[in-house]
Homo-oligomer: A and B are copies of this chain.
C-alpha cells in the first residue's frame, strides 16, 4: 500500500515536471519568435582612452561617422543585402574615413610607413580570408574577401599579399594616400617617448601616455558584425595596427579566432584592443565556443571573456548572435560603436553602455 502510494506520487510529480518543462519551452519559442529581429548589425571604430572632455566638434565628427556607417549597414540589410556584402561595404566606408585607424588614417609604423591588416569570415561555412601588412591596397577588407573567395588559403602576409593583390582587381594607391597629420603627430610623440621598445632589456613600455584626448594609437581598429535576413552571419575587421610598430608585428585583426570570427550556429564578432591579449585568449572564437558549449547568450559569453579573461583596459568586442542579439562589451574607458536592427534599434555610443548619442 505504502509502496503504491509512493509510486503514484512519484509518477504524478514526474508528469507535473514534464508538463512544466514543455510549457516553458513552448513559451520561450513564442517569445523568441516574436522578439527575434530579422536582421542586426553592430560595428566599432576602436576602443581606448577617449576623454569625455573632447571638443564637441571632434565628438560630433565621430558620432556623424558612426551614424553614417551604421545607417549604410542598416539600409543595406533592410533591402535584403547579404551579410558578407554589408560587412565589406561598411568596413570600406570606415577604411576611407581618416578618423579611424584603418585604411586612410591608419597609424604609422616605426619606419613612418603604413602596414594594414584585415580579415573577413563567413558564418555559413567558416570560410575566411585575411591579409597582414599590405602597403598599397586602399581597402584591405576587400583583398581579404578575395583571399577567402579566390584562394584555398586564409592568410597572406606583407610582400606576398602585395603580389596577390597584383593578380586581383583591387584598388591600389600610393602609400602616401594613407597619410594624415594626426597619425604623424602620434608617431612623433610615441617615438619621443620610445613607447614601443623591443630590446633585450625586458623594460618595455607601450603606454601611449595621456595628453592626447583620444588615445586610439593602439585601439582604433574598425570592425563590423552582421546577421542578415537569411539568417547568415559575417564579420570583418580592418586596422593599421599599433603606432610605432616594428618588425612586421601582426596583431589580432588578421587572425581568425582572435580579431574576427563568424559561425552561423553561434555569433559574429570583431575585436579591438591590445591585439596580443586577444590572440592569447582567442577572444572572438572563445565567445563563440562559450555559446556553443555552455548555451550562454552572446552578452553572457562576451562578458565572461572581456571582463573575466582579459585585463581592464585591454579593449572590447562588438558582435551579433544567430538570434539577432547584439553585444558591445569593452573594458577600456570608451569604445566608438553603433548598432541597429530590424525592430528599430538604432544607436551610436562612445562611453557608458547606457548612453545613446543618436
Asked if A182 CB lies within 8 Å of chain B CBs, one says no
- The residues of A with any CB-CB pair to B shorter than 8 Å are 2, 5-6, 9, 126-128, 132-133, 150-161, 163-164, 167-168, 196, 198-200, 202, 204, 206, 246-250, 255-258, 261, 275-276, 279-282, 285-286, 289-290, 293-294
Do A250 and B152 form a contact, CB below 8 Å, given A167-B199, A293-B289? no
Q: Say what secondary structure dominates the interface of chain A.
A: mixed
List of B residues within 8 angstroms of A158 by Cβ: 133, 157-160, 248
Q: In the bound complex, do residue B202 and residue A157 qualify as a contact, i.e. CB atoms below 8 Å apart?
A: no
Measured in the bound complex, the distance between the Cα atoms of B168 and A258 in whole Å is: 28
Q: Are B247 and A163 in contact (CB under 8 A)?
A: yes
Q: Which residues of B contact A247 (CB under 8 A)?
A: 151, 153, 156, 160-161, 163-164
The CA of A257 and the CA of B284, in the complex, are separated in Å by: 11
Interchain CA distance A161-B246 in the complex, whole Å: 9
Task: Give chain B nearest CB distance to A204 CB in angstroms.
Answer: 5
Q: Is the CB of A151 within 8 A of B5?
A: no
Chain B residues, Cβ within 8 Å of A6: 5-6, 9
| B153 in contact with A249 (CB, 8 Å) | yes
Q: Find chain B residues with CB under 8 A from A157 CB.
A: 132-133, 157-158, 248-250
A284 nearest CB neighbor, chain B only: B282
- A–B complex contacts, Cβ < 8 Å, 30 sampled: A2-B5, A132-B157, A152-B196, A153-B247, A153-B249, A153-B276, A154-B250, A154-B275, A154-B276, A154-B279, A155-B249, A155-B250, A155-B279, A156-B248, A158-B158, A160-B247, A161-B247, A164-B246, A164-B248, A256-B280, A257-B257, A257-B258, A257-B279, A257-B282, A257-B285, A261-B282, A285-B285, A285-B286, A289-B289, A289-B293
Given the complex of chains A and B, what is the CA–CA distance between A353 and B337 in angstroms? 50
A208 to chain B, nearest CB (A): 13
When C-beta atoms are compared, the residue in chain B nearest to A286 turns out to be: B289
**Which residues of chain B are within 8 angstroms of A133 by Cβ–Cβ distance?**
157-158, 160
Residue of B nearest to A127 (CB): B280
Cα–Cα, bound, A2→B160 (Å): 81
CB-defined contacts of A256 to chain B, threshold 8 Å: 279-280, 282
Complex-state Cα separation, A25 to B276, whole angstroms: 39
Q: Select which of B5, B160, B275 is within 8 A of A248 by beta carbon.
A: B160
Q: Which residues of B lie under 8 Å from residue A261 when comparing CB positions?
A: 282
Docked complex Cα distance between A198 and B256 (Å): 21
